[in-house]
Structure 1
Amino acid sequence: MSDGTYTKKRLWRWRGNPLRRRDDILEAWIVLAVWTVVLVGGTLVGLVTAHAADEVFAQQRAERHSVPAVVLDDVPASSTKTGGTRALARISWTAPDGTTHTDKTLVDTGQKAGAEVVAWLDGRGNLATEPPSPTEAAIEAGILGTAAALGLAGTAFGAGALVRWRLDRRRIDQWGREWDLVGPRWGQNKTG
């Protein structure tokens, strides 16, 4: 099939045609709008989401800092049932102002009391999770951006499919009404 024939088939709703209905033109605009939302909107949403996530991760890296801490109680080795490599344990650390703090955080299993670990604190001195490295942050931001783009694409495709389904239902109903008018007269003009 030549490219010209393919293009004509793909764009039949846009060309003048005595069989073209108003719903066909409406459907063509809906398809165009859905693809525009998916391509342009999905790209924008994905980029904005990835950029926002990357900024949050960069802020976490700037605000959080590590401090040496000491495990206060023995941490049992992981059991075969849980299979975890980290467990909640009480730790103690000294703040920059010289005060000692105690709290619970996740540490590697099998630690003995007195073992040194690294604790992460936020800007207010509260325990926090370790911020992602720049590479981890870039990967996670990319995943979040992709998920946002796919979410928008799925919503646009779903909405477009619903509207097209409603148009199909309307066309079928219209054909039924037209057949009700034409059907009884079908074959009456036969010569006998």
Structure 2
Amino acid sequence: MGDRPSHLLRLWRLRCGRNLLARRCDRVDGRLLLVALLLTLIVAPFAAAVASEITARGIERSRQETSTRYPATAVTLADAFSREAGDIRGTTAHTKVDVAATWTARDGTQRVGIIPVAEGTADGTATAIWLDAAGNPTIVPLRIADAIASGAMVGVLIWLAIGATLTGTWWLVHLVFNRYRYVQWARERERIGRDSSYS
């Protein structure tokens, strides 16, 4: 059992080796598969470079946002409901509603504005928010870990997309070659059936 060649090795010998039974389309098919695999490996550094660039930009953005944004506590000035009183259909813990609130900026000034809170938040509820350098509400700064994860994900997706495109292209060509082989085999069987020397 251990001396038997693997399926891939047998396929290679049939299509790219010196097998006398291999047709020209078999050899072309095998070489196209080899090219697809090699190109998939070659584009890996390109995908890694793109991932590295995106990661670097994400880290720079994270540092910039972290240095200019800071957390604060806002207090709502009204109940956070977007529907008529008593109608809570469709309300979930993840539903956000804009509501008036007040907070203290880094310079000590009292600010009033609109912030998003969970629907159902009562008047006078303390809510954690993030403020920009001007003291206005903004989104949470991008974390470095998220920037690294995003860059890596983009790199992997690019590599997989290119690999899938190359493999899919080879597979379509492989199907065309298979159709050609079936036609040739059918003609060969028909020729053998007519040739009396085989009977």
> RMSD between aligned alpha carbons?
3.8
Q: CA deviation at 1:23?
A: 0.9
| Structure 2, unaligned runs of 5 or more | 82-87
| Structure 1, unaligned runs of 5 or more | none
| Residue pair 1:107, 1:117 contacting (<8 A) in 2 also | no
Residues in 2 aligned to 1:39 and 1:92: alpha-carbon distance in whole angstroms: 56
1:135-150 matches, cutoff 5 A: 135-150=145-160
Letter in 1 for 2:37: W
Letter in 2 for 1:73: A
SS in 1 for 2:175: helix
Q: Identity of paired residues, percent? A: 19
Q: Cα distance 1:126–1:56, how it changes in 2: closer, same or farther (>3 A)?
A: farther
Residues in 1 aligned to 2:72 and 2:61: alpha-carbon distance in whole angstroms: 19
Residues in 1 aligned to 2:164 and 2:144: alpha-carbon distance in whole angstroms: 30
Q: Cα distance 1:5–1:61, how it changes in 2: closer, same or farther (>3 A)?
A: closer
Residues in 2 aligned to 1:48 and 1:101: alpha-carbon distance in whole angstroms: 45
Letter in 2 for 1:112: D
Deviation string 1:135-187 (CA, Å, 9 cap, x unpaired) is 2332333333323322222222211211111111122233334445x14523x
Residues in 2 aligned to 1:124 and 1:160: alpha-carbon distance in whole angstroms: 56
1:29-68 matches, cutoff 5 A: 29-41=31-43, 43-64=44-65, 65-66=69-70, 68=72
Deviation string 1:99-142 (CA, Å, 9 cap, x unpaired) is 967444x3355363473532244x89875432332223323333
Q: Cα distance 1:179–1:47, how it changes in 2: closer, same or farther (>3 A)?
A: same
Letter in 2 for 1:66: Y
Aligned to 2:194: 185
Q: Cα distance 1:84–1:36, how it changes in 2: closer, same or farther (>3 A)?
A: farther
1:96-111 matches, cutoff 5 A: 102-104=113-115, 106-108=116-118, 110=121
Pairing 1:154–2:164 present: yes
Residues in 2 aligned to 1:49 and 1:107: alpha-carbon distance in whole angstroms: 37
Aligned to 2:126: 115
Aligned to 2:184: 174
* TM-score (norm: length of structure 1): 0.69
